[in-house]
Amino acid sequence: MVTPKRKDAQQLTELILDTARDLFTKFGVDSVSMHQIAKAAGVGQATLYRRYTQKGDLCLELIDDHFNRFKNDIEQLLASIHDQPVLDRLKAVFRRLVVFASDETALLKAIHISLVHNRCIENDKRTFFTSPPYMFLHSTLTHLLKESQDSGQTVPFDPAFTAHIYIASLAPFTLQHLSEDYGMSTDAIVEQLLRTLICPLFKPNNPE
C-alpha cells in the first residue's frame, strides 16, 4: 500500500510559523496579511491556507507554547497550594489567568476575532468554545467552583455556567478597554474582578 508523506511538510510548517512570528513582532499582528506571510516564507498561499484557514488559527498555533507554559504554571501552582482553602486557590488561578491574558493580548485578540467570527459564519465544529485552551480553562475553573460549592462555603450557583461567564468577562477586548481607556493596571483589574465576581459567591468572610 502506498501512503507517502513528504518529509519537508513539517519543515514548511515550522518555516511558516517562524516567519509569522517574525512578521508579527516586527509589524504587529493586525498589519500582517496572510499573503504577506506566505510570500515572506516563500511558499504558495494554498500551502499556508491548507494549514491555517485564518490568521486566528495561526495565532492559536503560535500561542501554543506560551499556553502550555501557562498550563504548567497553573498545574504547579495548584499542586503547590493544594492544601490551602479553595477560595485562595481560585484567586490564585484567576490572578495568573488575567496576567496571561494581559501578556498575550495581541495574539488573543486575533484568535478571538477569527474563531468567534468564524463560528458566526458556518457551523464549524472548530469554535472558540471547543478549542483546547478554552476547554482547559473552563474545566479548571469549573472544578474549583464545584469544590467551593460542595464545601458549603458558597451561595448556590452552577459551576460550569459560572466558569463560562468568568471567561467571557476576560475577553481580550474587555481587558484592553479596562486597561487602556479606563486606565486600570493589571493588578487593579485582578483585584476588582476578585472583589466583584469571586468573593461575593462565598458566604460572609466574617462568619456569623
Query: Site residues (CB under 7 A) for DNA?
Result: 1-9, 12, 33-36, 42-47, 49-50, 53-55
What grid cell was written down for 166? 468568568
Only one of the segments 17-25, 45-53, 57-65, 160-168 lies at the binding site for a second copy (rule: CB under 8 A); that segment is 160-168
* 53 binds, options a second copy, DNA, none, Cβ within 5 to 8 A by partner type: DNA
DSSP result, 105-157:
HHHHHHHHHHHHHHHHHS--S--GGGSHHHHHHHHHHHHHHHHHHHTT-B---
Our CB check for DNA shows the closer of 5 and 82 to be 5
Nearest alpha carbon to residue 159 among 176, 174, 141: 141
If you count DSSP H runs as helices and E runs as strands, how many of each does the chain have, helices first? 11, 0
Nearest alpha carbon to residue 21 among 84, 87, 97, 110: 110
CB 90, min distance to a second copy, A: 14
Residues that bind a second copy (CB under 8 A): 30, 109, 113, 116-117, 119-121, 127-129, 155-158, 161-162, 164-165, 168-169, 171, 173-174, 177-178, 181-182, 184, 192-193, 195-197, 199-201, 203-204, 208
